[in-house]
């Protein structure tokens, strides 16, 4: 299934993408695409539902973030060896873990706001892993059993805040609008192999990133298992698994976002995002 959320910001309702291409409402069927609705039992129940009888949603309706009530937004840095190289950093011996503020989350096609005074805002197409069952000390072999599905994430970054200011990466990753999610949460049964997904990102029609999840240093199962050894993962938590090469920081000379540009990005089978960059306005 391809689960989604539609409607005005803060007023989104749950829905799904029907196999006939129409958007259908799940309002009244589940409370939201969040928490216990992401469990295996809940998703199995949705698969048995009479989808053809669900109300059709206007296709022009805004899509919101595909997951609501995200408790933890975990991110993995330098998880593609060629991206580490373009960043001038070593491939890590263990996953590089940081967190992104959930207040950065927006819909897949919402505007991205360039922070006040920013000169180094950057893009990163990433595979997002959505947790469906509480996971604690799970093995790598069992880890995918705790996954509800996958989504596209644009892990936007302000490189000055991230790399040139004191402290942790989180402040360069957490600016408002710096986490577009969706358009869909694609349940894991529709993703044959999360380690073989093509992914790309374009800015103003120029393709900068063109990679595949097979080149991850640490795969999805390893990441879920690894993180569960440090903290409980709960339904609706998201793991953003790193980006392939082609970010603005890695260009020679570096290229960064400015207001008035358009980003397009996609991961095979998970849908496409489009964002316009706008200036911060107090």
Structure letter (DSSP) for residue 111: P
Mean pLDDT by groups of 10 residues along the chain of 282 residues = 98 97 97 97 95 96 98 95 75 93 98 96 98 98 98 97 86 97 98 98 98 96 98 98 95 96 98 98 72
Q: Could you give the CA distance from residue 282 to residue 279 in angstroms, rounded to a whole number?
A: 10
In DSSP terms, 122 is beta-bridged to: 157
pLDDT for residue 282: 57
Compute the chain's Rg from CA coordinates. 18
DSSP for 216-233, written as a single string:
BSS-HHHHHHHHHTTS-B
The CATH T-level fold of domain 67-279 is: Fumarylacetoacetate hydrolase; domain 2 (3.90.850)
In this prediction, residue 168 carries a pLDDT of 82
CB 38 within 8 A of CB 8: no
Q: How far is CA 160 from the centre of its chain?
A: 22
What is the number of residues in the chain? 282
Contact 240, 251 (CB under 8 A): no
pTM of the predicted structure, to 2 decimals:
0.96
E-strand spans in 125-196? 125-131, 147-154, 157-158, 179-180, 185-187
Give the pLDDT confidence score for residue 269 in this predicted structure: 98
197 to 182, 212, 216: CA distances (angstroms): 16, 5, 11
pLDDT of amino acid 169? 87
d(CA 248, CA 46): 41
Question: Among 49, 111, 99, 40, which Cα is nearest to 70's?
Answer: 99
């Amino acid at each position: 299934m391809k689960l989604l959320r539609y409607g005005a910001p803060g007023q989104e309702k749950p829905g799904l993408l029907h196999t006939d291409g129409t958007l259908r409402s799940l309002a009244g069927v589940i409370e939201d695409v969040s928490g216990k609705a992401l469990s295996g039992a809940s998703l199995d129940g949705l698969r048995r539902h009479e989808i053809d009888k669900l109300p059709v949603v206007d296709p022009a309706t805004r899509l919101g973030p595909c997951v609501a009530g995200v408790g933890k937004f975990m991110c993995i840095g330098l998880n593609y060896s060629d991206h580490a190289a373009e960043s001038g950093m070593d491939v890590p011996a263990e996953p590089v873990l940081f967190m992104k503020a959930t207040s950065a989350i927006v819909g897949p096609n919402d505007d991205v706001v360039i922070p006040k005074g920013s000169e180094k805002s950057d893009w990163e197409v990433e595979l997002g892993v959505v947790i469906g069952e509480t996971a604690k000390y799970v093995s790598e072999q069992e880890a995918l059993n705790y996954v509800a599905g996958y989504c596209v994430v644009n892990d936007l970054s302000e490189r000055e805040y991230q790399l040139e200011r004191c402290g942790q990466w989180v402040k360069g990753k957490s600016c408002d609008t710096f986490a577009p999610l969706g358009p869909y949460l694609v349940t894991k049964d529709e993703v044959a192999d999360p380690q073989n997904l093509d992914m790309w990102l374009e800015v103003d029609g120029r393709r900068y990133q063109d990679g595949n999840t097979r080149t991850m240093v640490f795969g999805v199962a390893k990441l879920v298992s690894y993180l569960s050894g440090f903290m409980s993962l709960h339904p609706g938590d998201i793991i953003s698994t790193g980006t392939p090469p082609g970010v603005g920081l890695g260009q020679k000379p570096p290229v960064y976002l400015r207001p008035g540009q358009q980003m397009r990005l996609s991961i095979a089978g998970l849908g496409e995002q489009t964002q316009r960059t706008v200036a911060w306005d107090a």
